[in-house]
Chains A and B, each alone.
Chain A
Amino acid sequence: MADLNINLGGLALKNPVMTASGTFGYGFEFEDFVDLSRIGGIIVKGTTIRHREGNPYPRMAETPSGMLNAVGLQNKGVDYFINKIYPDLEKVNTNVIVNVSGSTIDDYVETAEKLAYLSHIPAIELNISCPNVKQGGMAFGTCAGSAEEVVKAVRKAYPKHMMVKLSPNVTDIAEIARAVEFAGADSVSLINTLLGMAVDAKTRKPVLSTVTGGLSGPCVKPVALRMVWQTAKAVNIPVVGLGGIMNATDAIEFFLAGASAIQIGTANFIDPTITMKVIDGINEYLDENGFGSIKDIIGALEIAD
């Protein structure tokens, strides 16, 4: 049994496996399939200052080895979360992290301030990379200046661990990561979905009501790995890797590329027990290859010079 504990910039994880926002509900949806307390961290749905109905149906298109979504941050708002959902989450014995999104900087700040009071929420994940909303979202995360501005503002309002989720829809991920680190982020997570599109040739119409949507699943893994590797080299804060992780081997690849922890997203839809399998699989890999700790393989990619 290898040591799977990770100190993620002050946030203690019992293992480096977390669930990606928007793909694991509030965790309870998976209770029949997994022991929630075994997961390193549960990142719950994108939460905004006010209730959002999200985008109209259809919001999903299956694509080769992946899917496009255009959910558009449907959620009942932060107050509802605090009053109705948080009391149940308090009973979940692991890190529960809230993914925070907004249309304006004030939205982000106000939401983060409210969440700071919740003792059982040790961290937030700042989503500056949602491609499915008209205002804000990804716009903040695709330019170093605005990314820095929003992270700085939230930093002042939120004293606990602040993970910032980066968008892959940029030319230079390292530049954005450095800006976010400079602004006070404790860690960065990447990647959010890649902006994509699906067309129905039969009807000559877009498949999604929003025309474009966010691509996820194994088809994005090579892009995600590349960006995690570039980011890990560029910053000193821990990097949380995600994008297309379907099994333990995929997860190991992200650790080797420099991730200190990983998140599992779309794979939860295919196999609702996948988090348990990935935790067990990482442990087996470490044992089989003679590593005593997960830390031994973080960034251990061997590149010939």
Chain B
Amino acid sequence: MKKYMHDLVITANEKLNNQYFLLKLTLNSTLPDMLPGQFAEVLIDDSPTTFLRRPISINYVDKQKNELWLLVQKVGDGTIKMAEYPIGKTLNLVYPLGNSFSNLLPNKKNVLLIGGGVGIAPMLMLGADLKEKGFEPVFLLGARSEKDLLELTDFTQYGQVFTTTEDGSHGEKGYVTQHSILTKQKFDKIYTCGPTPMMKAVASYATKNGIECEASLENMMACGIGACLCCVEDTKDGHKCVCTEGPVFNIKDLKWQI
């Protein structure tokens, strides 16, 4: 897929809670095609501590409004700065990058999308895409507490949503892998993105139950386009670039101890 470097304009910067915000961006021409699971490398304004671009997943593309959404968690200098960006400001993106979640085969109808924390970001785009293709995705979203569950109304547009929170303030109490839906319903395919310990627990569940599973990794990146070899993941086939051969991997190719 062709990659671009564009200046996009911020049309909205919604504070979702103290930690998370949603940036909506538009372009003066039609946005390029993007696939679920792909990401953008965002340039943070000239600042010594945010020298490299920041990789952020494509959360959603609103084709009618020609809008690209980025769901971001404040963790350090770069994301804290982005949280303050005003409407009308331009943001320089190199995008769309990486592979994508693989296409679902017609015989794998029962599909579960598991997202944790900011890892729910690519799940919205993936869910929308699956729905458009005629599948009925089921979402299982996990967070610390109710206020950290984001974009729930958006998710419900594309499928059934189940939740877990660590404090029990929304959905079932506990971790995503403890949710009762996993015992009640049979799934043929799981897509997951979230903190590594969560994805490993999901991978372990999938492996034990013979379910095909793809996970989206978040290794530290410098270039995002396969030039520096900084982002590698050790796979059964040697070091692979997470930015070009990933971020989505079939868990059977990873060397996770699960």
Q: Say yes or no: A268 contacts B2, CB within 8 Å.
A: no
Query: Which residue of A53, A56, A218, A269 is within 8 Å of B228 (Cβ)?
Result: A269
Query: Total interface residues on A, using CB and 8 Å?
Result: 33
Contact of B51 among A30, A64, A71, A74 (CB under 8 A): A64
How many angstroms between the C-alpha atoms of A59 and B233 in the bound complex? 11
Cβ–Cβ contact B230 & A60, under 8 A: yes
Bound Cα distance from A268 to B94, whole angstroms: 12
Which chain B residue lies CB-closest to A273? B5
Structural contact, B228 and A57, CB atoms closer than 8 A: no
| A136 and B223 alpha carbons, distance in the complex (Å) | 27
Interface size for chain B: under 10, 10 to 19, 20 to 34, or 35 or more residues?
20 to 34
SS class, residues of chain A in contact with chain B:
loop
Q: Find out whether the CB atom of B227 lies under 8 angstroms from the CB atom of A71.
A: no
Most A C-beta atoms less than 10 A away, residue of B4, B52, B230, B233: B230
**Stretch of A19-27, A116-124, A227-235 with 4 or more beta carbons under 8 angstroms from chain B:** A19-27
| CB–CB B48/A64 < 8 A | yes
Q: B31-48 interface mask toward A, CB cutoff 8 Å, 1 = contact, 0 = none?
A: 000000000000100001
Complex contact A25–B238 (CB within 8 A): no
A62 touching B52, Cβ below 8 Å:
yes
CA distance A264 to B250 in the complex (A): 36
Number of A-B contacts (CB under 8 A): 89
List of B residues within 8 angstroms of A269 by Cβ: 52-53, 222-224, 227-228
Assembly CA distance A57 to B243 (angstroms)? 14
Q: Are B228 and A23 in contact (CB under 8 A)?
A: yes
A265 to chain B, nearest CB (A): 10
Is B131 interfacial (CB 8 A cutoff)? no
User: Per-position contact with A for B200-223: 1 when CB-CB < 8 Å, else 0?
Assistant: 000000000000000000011111
Q: Which of B2, B53, B221, B222 contacts A32 (CB 8 A)?
A: B2
Over the window 132-156 of chain B, the binary record of Cβ atoms lying under 8 Å from chain A Cβ atoms (1 yes, 0 no) is 0000000000000000000000000
Task: Tell me whether B30 is interfacial, beta carbon within 8 Å.
Answer: no
B3 at the interface (CB under 8 A from A): yes
18 inter-chain pairs at a CB distance below 8 angstroms, sorted by A residue, are A23-B223, A24-B227, A30-B227, A32-B3, A32-B4, A33-B3, A53-B238, A53-B239, A59-B229, A60-B220, A60-B222, A60-B228, A60-B231, A63-B51, A67-B52, A74-B232, A269-B53, A272-B5
B interface with A by C-beta (< 8 Å): 2-5, 43, 48-49, 51-53, 94, 219-234, 238-239, 244
Q: Which residues of A contact B (CB under 8 A)?
A: 22-25, 29-30, 32-33, 53-54, 56-60, 62-67, 69, 71, 74, 217-218, 266, 268-273
* Contacts A23-B223, A33-B5 known; 8 new A-B pairs at CB < 8 A: A29-B223, A54-B239, A57-B219, A58-B219, A71-B228, A268-B223, A268-B227, A270-B51
